[in-house]
Amino acid sequence: MSHLTLRYRLNGNERADLVAGDETLLSLLRYRLDTTSVRQGCRQGTCGTCTVLVDGEPRLACITLAATCEGCAIETADSLPGSGGLHPLQQAFMDHFAAQCGFCTTGMLMAAKALLDVNPSPSREEVIDAIGGNICRCTGYEPIVEAVLAAATAARAGATPPAAHRHC
């Protein structure tokens, strides 16, 4: 088997791991490094559950070969909380009931983060597009869209998001 040494940054930490040429990023992060916040939903790229950020771009870990991430910065949901506590997206997801079973949540958060990092004031349509590759079977998406919009507002204000109108 052809192995190579992959040098990359995982949530800010420099790493070097030996990876097989055909090893996916999901397999490396979840099954070898025990980053369990990166979850496997389909292994086909269709559900978005394993979304992580590679150099700031949203990527599906299940259909990304680890070896192609040489020199990249990889972020998972574990990197979200800042020194001040939860990331505005995490707080908004809680406040807006945007997580039910929780399985899609980390992927959803990373997809949303990829958007807010480059577009701090997204429109509703842009939010819908940003999470368009992520499947949630519980919420019906509306609370998630609301949460992302609220998180954007909160992040701009530099405060925690308003728990405005809650879905019960």
Ligand X SMILES: Cc1cc2nc3c(=O)[nH]c(=O)nc-3n(C[C@H](O)[C@H](O)[C@H](O)COP(=O)(O)OP(=O)(O)OC[C@H]3O[C@@H](n4cnc5c(N)ncnc54)[C@H](O)[C@@H]3O)c2cc1C
Q: Which of positions 97-136 make contact with other proteins (CB under 8 A)? A: 97, 99-106, 109, 111, 114-115, 128-136
- Residue 155 interacts with which of ligand X, other proteins, none, CB < 5 to 8 Å by class: none
Residues 6+ apart with CB under 8 A from 142: 167
- By CB under 8 A, residue 68 contacts other proteins: yes
- By CB under 8 A, residue 142 contacts other proteins: no
Q: Which long-range contacts (CB under 8 A, 24 or more apart) does 122-125 make?
A: 122/148, 122/149, 122/152, 124/149
Tell me the closest approach of the beta carbon of residue 99 to other proteins, in angstroms.
Answer: 4
- By CB under 6 A, residue 46 contacts ligand X: yes
Tell me the closest approach of the beta carbon of residue 164 to ligand X, in angstroms.
Answer: 33
CA distances from 32 to 13, 44, 55, 74, 103 (A): 16, 19, 21, 15, 20
Binding mask 59-98 for ligand X (x = CB under 6 A): ----x-----------------------------------
Beta bridge partners of 73: 9
Question: Is there a contact between 131 and 142 (Cβ–Cβ < 8 Å)?
Answer: no
Question: Is there a contact between 7 and 16 (Cβ–Cβ < 8 Å)?
Answer: yes
- By CB under 6 A, residue 42 contacts ligand X: no
**Interface contacts to ligand X, rule CB under 6 A:** 45-46, 63
